Amino acid sequence: GYGIGGLSVGESHDDMYRILDSLCPEMPKNKPRYLMGVGFPTNLVESVARGVDMFDCTIPTRNGRNGGVLSRFEKLNLKNKSFARDFTPIDSTCDCYACRNYTRAYIRHLYTAGEILASRLCTWHNLHFLVNLMKEARIAIIEGEFPAFRSNFMEHFMEGQYTK
């Protein structure tokens, strides 16, 4: 396969996409294409649209350590005081262990108490979120519906209107 590195290190997303637009068509289709260091959901979907197959990134773990969680609906940092009495799951549409068993308020409490479990739960959720996003993209590709999936995701991500 092929590794693509040196992107997502300061250039605009549009510049990154232009580079992928010129690189990916030159690579054999029967070899995997691995984009290093890219992990924000919209970047993943746009990179898949350009032919990228695999990714790695610190976003799910780094954000999780610092209270940041990925959600289709809103940008969340569970360290914020506003979550002290929020007894809802991180994401009501998510079926990960953290969302099924813990509330935003409890996870915030874990952060304020210095408990490592807070970071682990947020990281678990973030990884689950990204794995499911890529699963949905794979299904859309197999079903010949990726352009519609991409359009829907890009239009509605973080607006609370995204539908699977």
Q: Single out the residue of 142, 139, 144 nearest to residue 164, CA to CA.
A: 139
What's residue 153's pLDDT? Answer: 92
Check whether residue 69 and residue 129 sit in a common domain. yes
Check whether residue 94 and residue 149 sit in a common domain. yes
pTM of structure: 0.89
Check whether residue 92 and residue 43 sit in a common domain. no
Check whether residue 89 and residue 45 sit in a common domain. no
Which pLDDT tens digit goes with each residue over 57-88?
Answer: 999 999 999 999 998 877 899 999 999 999 99
Mean pLDDT, residues 9-33: 91
Which pLDDT tens digit goes with each residue over 147-161?
Answer: 999 999 998 886 654
* Domain boundaries, position 3: 1-57
Check whether residue 11 and residue 87 sit in a common domain. no
SS3 62: helix
Mean pLDDT, residues 135-139: 97
Q: Using CB atoms within 10 A of its CB, is residue 142 exposed (0-12), middle (13-18) or buried (19+)?
A: exposed
